[in-house]
Structure 1
Amino acid sequence: MCVPGCMEAVRAGLSRRGFFGRAGAAAAGFAATAVTPVPAPAATLAPRSFERMIDLTHTLGPQFPTFFDTPGIEFETRAEYAKDGYNMYVWKLLEHAGTHIDAPIHFAAKGASVDQIAADTLVVPLAVVDVVERADNDPDYLLSRDDLVAWEAKHGRLPRGCCVAMHAGFGRIAVSDPARFIGRDVDGTLHFPGIAPEAAAWLLNDREVAGLAVDTLSLDNGPSTEFGTHKLWLTAGRWGLENVANLDQAPPTGATLVVGVPKVKDATGAPVRLFAFV
């Protein structure tokens, strides 16, 4: 719920030259096998106003599907209003549950933890690549370099410092059909789309991209046991977003993504609140 005048304040704040005027050093020429963390490129965003905001965040509760089939969050009552005059819970939280961020340290011996991710890489242009039709025909679909090239043929070169989001249509089934969202078969193998390591390598070598995002449980597809995209992308000093909601409401290009990250020391990941301003 937004109190009167709050959207106007948000638009005004986001359009201030000082807010989007920061420019970080470019990060280019990545090797696909690089293991040295490299800071993600900061986006260069021109001042602009916005007409609407899209919440790209799922509500996190004990029932939300997780990679390990265990609750991502549990609550212990610490205080109750009737007895104590206020309400308070203690959370038992899995870092990588619900709509969340993967920090570089998640898949690297050394790398930035959540609190060390540069703030100017968390307000970025959003590029949404729609692979819903392909994912409907192949539950293990991998977003490919060809998908990215086709996106650029329609929408122009990927913006500097952007987040590339795979829209596979899984955001709509995370709550309504968790069994399909996870895709676990009789052998225990998971089935859902992800991003091909080759596509991630191309984005590292040939484009200046700050983050990847998916509306599924993982940057890698369900059957993956090597987690090649995780290893390549996070080791290169980049961040990833998983379990993103409502990508069907976001345009292919033109939106600005705001990643609200809790500044938790040494965390390998954390639940986030994502907003796309259009």
Structure 2
Amino acid sequence: MCHACVMDSVKERMLSRRALFRGVAATGLATAATGLIAARPALAQSGGRVIDLTHTLTPDFPTFDGRPGIEMVESVNFEESGYQLYRVTFEEHSGTHIDAPLHFSEDGTSVDELDPATLVCPLCIVDISAKAAEDPNAMVEPADIEAWISANGDIPAGACVAMLSGWADKVGTEAFRTDADGNFAFPGFSVQATDMLDGMGVAAIGVDTLSLDPGNSADFAVHYGWLPAGRYGIENLANLAQLPATGATLFVGAPKHGGGTGGPARVLAVL
């Protein structure tokens, strides 16, 4: 997710945040690795139920800039050659996809450099669908995280915390991306919430919308704060409503093209 209207002044302000987070990035990666240890018992006790959290990527799937996110051209024809093959071109940030730290920093971790230990982790789902039904730009706030902890216990270090807003049900309609006036409108995280999660050693955040930031964000504060800290995000998650708030293990099939800022991913949850 990129936006041509991000002002230089915003970038300069966020650079100071990157410098601050850089000092704790190593600690964050270590705690993220702890998340893999926490994930293993959950997987071992699993009943084997797998929920696909990935939307099918087609040229019609909504994108932030409104352009098709994928193009498929036949490269080899089955009738002519006995097998078939397509040449696929896609935008990195289309469909269900990863935002790597490099997406919003000049020299951050690229998608191929993500620590594999952070790609298998406990999944914690924060449900804000009730307030999102009232406010299309609703955000996960610190109070929502505190309420989740009160109900479910501590968020494990190395976890992925995902927002359930109900927006995945709007895929295929204009309301997934914009309001009736054509303005971006969808829920996301607040920077206060992601700062809180950063302090807990959370490895990733995820949303069932187009962006980690809410649609009416003018500065992409969550992107600039969360990603340069060495953590990653997942956008356009599907089927979160089929999972409990806690207890699932997340498997993130991140792409591995060298120097990538992200890319479409197959994301699975195991119960």
Quote the offset at 1:49 in angstroms.
Answer: 2.9
Distance 2:171 2:237 in 1: 10
Letter in 2 for 1:203: L
Instruction: Kindly indicate whether residue 201 of structure 2 is the aligned counterpart of residue 204 of structure 1.
Output: no
Distance 1:259 1:74 in 2: 23
Quote the offset at 1:225 in angstroms.
Answer: 2.0
Q: Pick from 11, 17, 22 the counterpart of residue 36 of structure 1.
A: 22
Per the alignment, residue 189 of structure 1 pairs with: 183
Say if 1:129 and 1:147, in contact at 8 Å, map to a contact too.
Answer: yes
Say if 2:70 and 2:90, in contact at 8 Å, map to a contact too.
Answer: yes
- Of all paired residues, the percent bearing the same amino acid is 43
Per the alignment, residue 241 of structure 1 pairs with: 234
1:209 alignment partner, SS class: coil
Distance 2:19 2:111 in 1: 23
Mapping for residues 134-153 of structure 1, pairs under 5 Å: 134-153=131-150
Per the alignment, residue 207 of structure 2 pairs with: 214
Task: After superposition, give the CA deviation of every residue in 1:69-126 in whole Å (9 maximum; x if it has no partner).
Answer: 1100011111110122211111111000000000000000111101000000000000
Letter in 1 for 2:197: L
Per the alignment, residue 92 of structure 1 pairs with: 89
Per the alignment, residue 71 of structure 1 pairs with: 68
Per the alignment, residue 26 of structure 1 pairs with: none
Point out the more displaced range, 89-98 or 37-46: 37-46
2:167 alignment partner, SS class: coil
2:149 alignment partner, SS class: helix
Give the structure with the higher percent helix. Answer: 2
Task: After superposition, give the CA deviation of every residue in 1:125-179 in whole Å (9 maximum; x if it has no partner).
Answer: 000000000000000101100000000000001011100000000112213x2x0
The structure 1 segments of at least 4 consecutive aligned residues displaced by more than 4 Å after TM superposition are none
Say if 2:206 and 2:233, in contact at 8 Å, map to a contact too.
Answer: yes
Distance 1:246 1:58 in 2: 9
Say if 1:33 and 1:232, in contact at 8 Å, map to a contact too.
Answer: no
1:34 alignment partner, SS class: helix
Letter in 2 for 1:49: Q
Say if 2:18 and 2:228, in contact at 8 Å, map to a contact too.
Answer: no
Task: After superposition, give the CA deviation of every residue in 1:163-222 in whole Å (9 maximum; x if it has no partner).
Answer: 0000000112213x2x01001553x420000000111111112x1100000000000001
Letter in 2 for 1:85: G
Distance 1:275 1:76 in 2: 28
Distance 2:143 2:19 in 1: 21
Unmatched 5+ stretches in structure 2: 1-16
Instruction: Kindly indicate whether residue 36 of structure 2 is the aligned counterpart of residue 50 of structure 1.
Output: no
Per the alignment, residue 7 of structure 2 pairs with: none
Unmatched 5+ stretches in structure 1: 1-30
Per the alignment, residue 4 of structure 1 pairs with: none
Mapping for residues 107-122 of structure 1, pairs under 5 Å: 107-122=104-119
Instruction: Kindly indicate whether residue 225 of structure 2 is the aligned counterpart of residue 232 of structure 1.
Output: yes
TM-score w.r.t. length of structure 2? 0.87
TM-score w.r.t. length of structure 1? 0.84
